[in-house]
Amino acid sequence: MNLFGKDLITTQDWEKDELTAVLELAEDMQKKRFSPKYTKLLQHKTFFMFFYNPSVRTRQSFECASTELGGHAQYLEPGGMRLKTKKTAGEIIEDAARVMSRYAAGIGIRMLEDKITRYGEADDMLREYAKFADIPIVSMAHDKYHPCQGLADIMGLRKHLGRDLKGKKLLLYWGHGALARSWCSVQEALLIYSRFGMDVTVASPEGYNLDPAVIESSKKNCGDNGRKFEITHDPVEGYRGAHVVYARNWMSPNAYHDGEFHKQEEVDKALQHSRWICDEQKMKLTDKGLYIHPMPIDRGHEVTDEVASGPRSIIYDVAENRLHAQKAIMALTMSKFDYKLKKTAAKVA
């Protein structure tokens, strides 16, 4: 399988067997973390990281991933790069992408809700970099998607529920809170969990619809696998029979208006829905449901401490998986590492 040079903006752009190759390789890299077969794959190579927004896991795991593959990750403050923005003159994306392609092995970009004036603006920017760069562009979380998180989640579910996720039920649950969170992680989860054969239920109060195009693609993924896709506005019903509960806050589609992100309006509105929290009483309705979240968690709003720190929570495993999944992504797209799917995995895929 040749993935050298391939961009990763959402997992939905990749074939299922390509995603399975990332997962298999990541699992092997976890088992043989410092094996010589992996420690020189990015030797002498550099990965550029533009962070328009803060990060703990993404920055640290990409830096560790680069080091463990024998390369180097360079942290870049986009504010210091003199790039052209809507408000300031500066270097255009085509020039930046073409020059950086002459230095680095790949570019990661994070751009979230408060750095844009309309939903989709960051996705457009990543795709413009991808158009002009000769090296892979990897989303490190942007307004629409968070592919590295989606792959780390599935790796966690394969460990705890088995490799074949067909027929397992995901509840994607809106949690109230004061963060007005972006849609990237939850939308990526819908796309990749449905791709891997899970039944999907989305539960939120009225008025918290996600991107209709993502909902359509997720419904289609479920349909292609013969699985169910449901939306409910009841704060409890979706828990029944769930194998995985993904409880996280997300902003409403009204967050952007008049060319601005209105965070305080979103927070004030969200805090009125205090019944929308993942707690032990609701988790009792699940089928021994796992609790999953990309972190950082807004404890006491999205989920109680009892659930987040309880025996069915897999949050730390998933956070660790970011490292292994990103090593696999980098090995496959930024080095000429040749990977063949195992026969059993090809069957499941």
- Give the footprint of ligand CP on this chain (CB under 6 A): 55-58, 141, 149, 294-296
Six token digits for residue 252: 């409403």
Min. distance of Cβ 94 from ligand CP in angstroms? 28
- In the complex with ligand CP, the residue whose CB is nearer, 56 or 271, is 56
- In the complex with ligand CP, the residue whose CB is nearer, 79 or 296, is 296
- In the complex with ligand CP, the residue whose CB is nearer, 1 or 295, is 295
Min. distance of Cβ 108 from ligand CP in angstroms? 11
Min. distance of Cβ 149 from ligand CP in angstroms? 5
Gap between the Cα atoms of 221 and 209, Å rounded:
18
- In the complex with ligand CP, the residue whose CB is nearer, 105 or 141, is 141
Gap between the Cα atoms of 333 and 305, Å rounded:
38
DSSP 3-state of 75: strand
Min. distance of Cβ 287 from ligand CP in angstroms? 26
DSSP 3-state of 127: helix
Gap between the Cα atoms of 305 and 307, Å rounded:
5
- In the complex with ligand CP, the residue whose CB is nearer, 159 or 342, is 159
Gap between the Cα atoms of 13 and 7, Å rounded:
9
Residue type, 54: P
The helices-and-strands tally (H runs, E runs) of the chain is 12, 11
Min. distance of Cβ 343 from ligand CP in angstroms? 33
Q: What share of the chain is helix, strand, coil (3-state, %, to 5)?
A: 40, 15, 40
Q: What is the dihedral of CA 112, 214, 294, 179, to 10 degrees?
A: 50
- In the complex with ligand CP, the residue whose CB is nearer, 41 or 210, is 210
Min. distance of Cβ 276 from ligand CP in angstroms? 21
Contacts of 85 by beta carbon, 8 Å cutoff, 6+ apart: none
- In the complex with ligand CP, the residue whose CB is nearer, 57 or 269, is 57
Contacts of 309 by beta carbon, 8 Å cutoff, 6+ apart: none
Min. distance of Cβ 332 from ligand CP in angstroms? 20
